[in-house]
Amino acid sequence: MHLERLLLENVRHLDDREHDFTAGHGRLRRWILLPSNQASSNLLRALAIAGLGRRQVQLLAQRFPLKMASRPDRDIHLESVQIRHAPQERGPASPARRHSGWSVSANGRFSVLSEAAMRYRDPTVQTRSPELGRNHAGRLLLGYGSRVQAHVGTDSFGIHPDQRVKRCAGLFHSGSRLTDPQAFLRELRRKSLYRAGRARALLARLNPDLSHWAGWDVVGSLDREGSFAARWKRMPVFRRSPLIVLLDMVRHVYDASTGLQVSDPLQQPGVILMEPAESWCKLDRQPGFFELLAAWLPGIQFFVALSPASRARFPAGLLKQVLEVPQPQTAIAPRPIPRLSRGTVLLVDVDGALPNLALMKLSRHYTSRGDRVALARGVTQLPLAKTVLASCTFRTGPSLRRVEILRQRYGDGLQVGGSGVDLRLRLAPEIEAMAPDYSLYPELGDRALGFLTRGCPQHCPFCLVPIKEGPPRLVSDFDALLQGRRKLILLDDNLLAYPAALSLLEEIARRDLTVNFNQTLDLRRLTPDSAQLLRQIRCSNATFTRRNYHFSLNDARHLESLRERYALLRTAASDNVEFVCMYGFNTSLAEDLERFRFLRSLPGAYVFVQRYRPVPGGPPPDLSRLFDQRADLLLDELVRIIFPQNMKSMETYYRWVAVQYAAQAGRIHHRLVETLFRYNCRPQMGGFLHRLNELAEERAVGDSNAPSFDGTAFLASLKK
């Protein structure tokens, strides 16, 4: 982000006028120098407000009440034209210039300016509401007051809801603290040791200038225990204070570039606002300080308030620097919608992760009649066709929205079926009996796909199989299913429940097939004979890249009996035994945790968590028992249960539990959230915490004992 212009009304010490920061057509002034007075302080605060999102201005109003209005009986009127950059804040073809604004009441309440209330008029600028402020990466605005005070052992390097407010808090409160420089450099050093990347490149880039400014080898001293801390403590204040500001800037530039696939974070565009620096940077060192900023941060636009003495020493060459306004790329024209040739049947795979068996049988049916067949996956770039048959596997929001798109597109020409739409709608018997057409999904290669048996004798209320399939029965034979292949993705609902299951396992072993039991096996039905056969069979994952067993564990009943069954497999820690664990149906957190503990105790076992989705006509989730008085202790234990693989799956469960805890208990479990974002999607942590805070506050409306989010408590909890 850069700032092109700012229009203010009713701001104390400032005239009602437009501030223009351009340097001719398509360019911006990089350095905007302001006098050292109260008017400049309020202008800097207004610039900071203009750069914050809707979430951030709410936090700002709560923490730092604004008293900037000239006339308390009128609202402050603030408009800005911002320059957004790709990929940080927009898509490559989106307009770069955006016009938005705020109205701020006397009590500090922010309201988005409507387009009709805008004073600035330029038809070439896109007018929109201020951005939400969900993401703390990409957009960068930093603000520094006249006082510099760093954290000492109290800094946290997480991404929190108030992260972007903290970045400019020094303009609103003199007690705001900056980055702990020692902790930040040690964190960079730690990251640079185990992985070549942004941290290592950044340290290499900074070290010569840091060492020159400090008078000693800054990065080199990090390798010697105690050396850096001792040297830092002995360093004169006139050297140390500017370094605190410099390293705070680098820390936030580094954070803002996270996840943007950039090798040099110092190229990050942004805005830095600074009040007079005399209290922390000596006059004779200010020119070198500003030249170092210009060299380190080539994409930053600076607004700096200077005393007359500082202004006289400011490097004249910097005032000639400009920033180019980026031009959006020409949008790629959408490809014309293709039309299938006459007599071609379009088959649409709406949502399946695996190839769709029903569509493969339909393909066999139509091609046997002499028709041509085309396959579409998803609902993008759909061709025009008269006959369209779609299969929807899952009854989720995204899947049902895709089905609605298909209905709008094809109308009466569409026939749609599958478990996500209608459990009782089946293929015609003569089509169901056909062998699948493997040419429809060439990626299957040498893998076969299908059912030997269908059905299950269990009547689990959460499952669609009893409604759709009924009791176990044989529906195919090996030759029809394999068609000469030796790898088989078996979709059977409950193979071990079929009365002649042993004979099927014996045939698999005799044929020396490699099998993926895709829908899991029922561990409760494992016998010594079937376990011996499973050990002989090459059980595999769906891609046939490694040996895998697949079982399910949907509740915490009879675990010791299951342990005995599991022992029949004689697995070792090096084996891969996946257990699909459903959550969100009727189990409590304590019962979920009991299952996870149990699986962690089994050699070779790991978990894949799967959220309950009600089938048509099925029972809704019952979460009334999810939490009890031990919830905090149980959540503490949850994050300590680590499986040797597939912990990515557990992150989905962590996220769900965190949301449920905020909504039901009105609290945020800080360590659970920190664990969730420790390694992945770190920039999204602040937005997620903001959402949890909103849920907790909604809960607190009906429960005065339920506290809302406390940022201090959150930071303290991370240090325990």
At residue 339, does pLDDT exceed 90? no
CA 169 distance to own-chain centroid: 26
* Strand bridging mode 344-349 / 322-324: unpaired
CA distances from 270 to 19, 24, 42, 257, 300 (A): 18, 20, 20, 11, 5
Residue that wins the pLDDT comparison between 466 and 319: 319
Kindly report, residue by residue over 624-664, the tens digit of the pLDDT.
999 999 999 999 999 999 888 778 889 999 999 999 999 99
Identify the residue whose tokens are 């936090």. 59
Residue 467 vs residue 401, higher pLDDT = 401
Predicted confidence band of residue 714 (pLDDT cuts 50, 70, 90): very low
Q: Under a CB-based contact definition with an 8 Å cutoff, are residues 6 and 29 in contact?
A: no
Domains belonging to the chain, first-starting first, are 2-26+46-127 (no CATH), 141-324 (no CATH), 344-431 (3.40.50)
φ, ψ for residue 474, nearest 5 deg? -80, 135
- Of residues 579 and 334, more confidence is placed in 579
Is residue 285 within 8 Å of residue 254, measured between CB atoms? no
Burial class (CB in 10 A: 0-12, 13-18, 19+), 443: exposed
pLDDT of 585-608, one tens digit each? Answer: 999 999 999 999 999 999 999 999
What percent helix, strand, coil does the chain show, rounded to 5? 40, 20, 45
Q: What is the mean pLDDT of the chain?
A: 90
pLDDT band with cut points at 50, 70 and 90 for residue 436? very high
| 186 has a pLDDT exceeding 80 | yes
pLDDT in tens, 122-178: 999 999 999 988 778 889 999 999 999 999 989 888 777 788 999 999 999 988 999
Task: State mean pLDDT over 350-362.
Answer: 93
Torsion angle, CA of 589/590/596/602, rounded to 10 degrees?
-160
- Exposure string (b/e) for 429-441, b if CB count within 10 Å is 16 or more? eeeeebbbbbebb
pLDDT reading at 706 higher than 60: no
Between 133 and 261, the higher pLDDT residue = 133
- Looking at residue 703, its pLDDT comes to 63
| Predicted local distance difference test score (pLDDT) of residue 717 | 42
Bigger pLDDT: 693 vs 323: 323
CB 271, CB 2: distance < 8 Å: yes
For residues 60-64, average pLDDT: 87
Decide if 248 contacts 237 (C-beta within 8 A). Answer: no
Q: Summarize pLDDT for 201-224 with one digit per residue, the tens.
A: 899 999 999 999 999 999 888 888
**What is the pLDDT averaged over residues 530-559?**
94
Q: According to the model, what pLDDT value does residue 702 have?
A: 64
Mean pLDDT across 280-301? 95
Does the pLDDT value for residue 294 go beyond 60? Answer: yes
- pLDDT score for 716: 44
β pairing state of 344-349 and 372-377: parallel
310: Cβ contacts below 8 Å, ≥ 6 apart: 36, 276, 277, 278, 283, 286
Cβ(684)–Cβ(135) under 8 Å?
Answer: yes
Handedness of CA 40, 41, 45, 51 (dihedral sign): positive
